[in-house]
A and B are shown apart, each in its own frame.
Chain A
Amino acid sequence: AQSVTQLGSHVSVSEGALVLLRCNYSSSVPPYLFWYVQYPNQGLQLLLKYTTGATLVKGINGFEAEFKKSETSFHLTKPSAHMSDAAEYFCAVSGGGGSNYKLTFGKGTLLTVNP
């Protein structure tokens, strides 16, 4: 079975500061990893994804994430936070086997950006 753990249900940063949202996963097969963003009362939007190949993945809005197999991590970073980054962020994993048709989501991290 797959699982995702997002450390910190709420992260608060100042505008211009580094954003770091943590995600650890467990998977018995090579994982496909995703970060989604959700703004209030909206659906989820894909920020970036890791499938195969380069372990540093760049996404939209200046975000990037690095797949570290040895640490089973896929942390999301952005060098300089902007007020518009305030939202909830979800890490997710998918893979083969019985759960092939599903995404397993973390519980989400709410990002607050202070002026």
Chain B
Amino acid sequence: SQTIHQWPATLVQPVGSPLSLECTVEGTSNPNLYWYRQAAGRGLQLLFYSVGIGQISSEVPQNLSASRPQDRQFILSSKKLLLSDSGFYLCAWSVIRFRTSGNNEQFFGPGTRLTVL
């Protein structure tokens, strides 16, 4: 069966410090990978998605970047954190294969709570 891991589970960082959040998926090959953020009272915001190694699509301009160094590894980074980067970060995966297929069921990780002080 497939599993998805995120770490760390919680993180408290000072403003201006770097960030690295990691997500790994087990039990599937060539998944699509996603990073979302939930800020308080603001729903789910898609930050990045990737359909293959080295392929990153950015949804919103911001202080963050993403990388996919391996097939089942997705990393969210920042060089200098802002207060507004605080939130709950969720990684997800899906296996949608063809552009004409719309069944994009996504499976979510447990999340990382980031507090920037």
Residues of A with Cβ closer than 8 Å to B?
29-32, 34, 36, 41-46, 49, 51, 90, 94-96, 100-103, 105-108
Contacts and interface: CB of A to CB of B under 8 A. Distances in A.
Nearest to A31: B102
A31 to B, nearest CB: 7
Interface of B: 32, 43-44, 46, 49, 51, 57, 88, 90, 92, 94, 96, 99-111, 113
Contacts of A94: 96, 102-105
B104 A43 contact: no
Nearest to A44: B108
Given A105-B43, A108-B43, A100 B101 contact: yes
If over half of A's interface residues share one DSSP class (helix, strand or loop), that class is named, otherwise mixed; here it is loop
Contacts of B103: 32, 51, 94
A42 B107 contact: no
B6 to A, nearest CB: 8
Nearest to B32: A101
Given A32-B102, A96-B99, A101-B51, A46 B44 contact: no
A5 B113 CA distance: 26
Contact of B101 (A42, A44, A96): A96
